Structures are given as C-alpha cells and as structure tokens.
Amino acid sequence: MNADDLRKLLDEIRSGETSVAAALDRIKHLPFEDLGFAKVDSHRGLRCGFPEVVFCPGKTIEQIVAIVERIEAQDSPLLATRAPAEVFEAVAARWPNAAYNKLARTITINAPASPDCDGLILIVTGGTSDIPVAEEARVTAEIMGNRVRTLYDAGVAGIHRLLQSRDEIFNANVIIVVAGMEGALASVVGGLSSRPVIAVPTSVGYGASFGGLAPLLTMLNSCAAGVSVVNIDNGFGAGYVAGLINRPPAR
C-alpha cells in the first residue's frame, strides 16, 4: 500500500463506498506481517514510495513464493532480484502475469503500463559484458514508473560511440553509468552532463580489476563532481536511487 492507495481508501470510507470494517481488513497487516522466517514490510510502500523488494539469494523457493504472495496481495508492483530460472518457474506457476528478465535475473509482477514520471533516466554501459547489471538497473527504474533509455557498449576505448549520443546525455534527468575494467566511463559522462550520475562498478575485467574493486576505486575518486557510486554489480541500487531522483516531489 502506498500513499495514493491509502488516500483512495480514506476517500472510499468518507463516501460510504467502503465500510470501516472492510478498511480495517485491508490494512490489518500494517506495518508488517510476520511469516516466521520473514517479516514482510507491508508499510514500506506507504513510507518509502515503493514496496519491499525480494532479494532471492539465500532463500528457498518456498520462502520466496510465500513472500511474493504477501506483497502481491497488496496489489502493488513487485520486484524480485537475483532470481534463478527455477524461482521464476515457481512464481509464474502461481502468477501467470509474472515477467522474467533472464539477463537481469529479475521477476516483476504488476509493473506499470506506462511511465508516470516525465524525466528520462539514461543507462550507459562500458561494454556488452556490463549489460546484465545495467538491465537490473533498467528493470528497477521502470517498475518504479520511470522512463528509461539505454546506451550500451559505449566505453572509453571507443569514445566516439559515446560522443555521438551526447544529445541523449544532455537531455537525461539522471544518468546511470555501468562499467568494469578501470571504470573511467563514469568520470567522462560526469564531465559532459549537468545532471546526477550514478556510477555502478562491475566485476567485469581481468585479474588486476580485483573483481570490480579497481573500477569501484576509480569511480570513488572521480574528478567529476556530479558522480556518486553504488556497490559492485549493484544495478538494483542504482536503478532505485535514480528512480527516487527522477520522481516528482510528493504532494
């Protein structure tokens, strides 16, 4: 339940369309529902603007399905990350409208039919190998109601590929830069754009990249003032923060 849902419910009570008893039944699990193995934060959509996201690693398929059931019952958009194919098969058996992004390893249910934010989020990757992390960011930003475009394989080794898309860079409201190897792309984009740049280091690279540590340190030490950094391979975190930046202020 988010703020709009609660406002609608209160309007229904005031108009007599919904009884107090029925309204109490709809909100009885606020602020969380204890499943024994998990406490599902049913208040998060109201508090933070987007429901709890299911991080799948470390959970059994049965646990994931049970958590999805409680979140989906709120008629809210649902996002599950780092989900292997067998988890999606179990979820899709219960919810045929579930969608799976194989590259991103994300499951979505009740995704918005169209964006509700005017601003554009642009996602740029250094190489093709960075696309899975970028796709996680894209799916996250889109299910939060944002308009997203992608510019993949535009790294600094062939910087002309990036520069020919400078109009997209200039027009974006938020830019997510996903890069491995040495991670220099974030500084380049940050030096071109007046908008916030969210840098995502990836674990793509040879041995001296230390599983993403080298691009992480490069991005943290960026000379471009508008660059902030999330953790290695954290496409979800970048997409979520970009979605918050791009969202108009609540009224």
Q: What are phi and psi for residue 229, nearest 5 degrees?
A: -130, 140
Q: Give the pLDDT mean for 12-27.
A: 78
- Percent of the chain at pLDDT > 90 equals 62
Q: How much is the pLDDT for 27?
A: 65
Q: Tell whether the model's pLDDT for residue 226 goes beyond 60.
A: yes
Q: How much is the pLDDT for 247?
A: 83
What is the DSSP annotation of 130-184?
GHHHHHHHHHHHHHTT-EEEEE-S--GGGTHHHHTTHHHHHH-SEEEEEE-TT-T
pLDDT tens figures, 227-243: 999 999 999 999 999 99
Q: Tell whether the model's pLDDT for residue 57 goes beyond 90.
A: yes
- What's the CA gap between 136 and 205, in Å, rounded? 19
Strands 39-40 and 33-34, bridge-based pairing:
antiparallel
- What's the CA gap between 104 and 139, in Å, rounded? 8
Token pair recorded at residue 69: 């059931």
- What's the CA gap between 196 and 198, in Å, rounded? 7
Q: Tell whether the model's pLDDT for residue 3 goes beyond 70.
A: no
The CA-based angle 75-43-17, given to 5 degrees, is 55
For residue 218, what pLDDT band results from cuts at 50, 70 and 90?
Answer: very high
> For residue 72, how far is the Cα from the chain centroid?
17
Listed in order, strand segments (DSSP E) in 22-87 are 33-34, 39-40, 54-55, 78-81
Q: Which domains are assigned to the chain?
A: 28-109 (no CATH), 120-246 (3.40.50.1970)
pLDDT, averaged across the chain: 88
Q: Tell whether the model's pLDDT for residue 82 goes beyond 90.
A: yes
Q: How much is the pLDDT for 2?
A: 57
Token pair recorded at residue 9: 């419910």
- What's the CA gap between 5 and 23, in Å, rounded? 11
> For residue 201, how far is the Cα from the chain centroid?
16
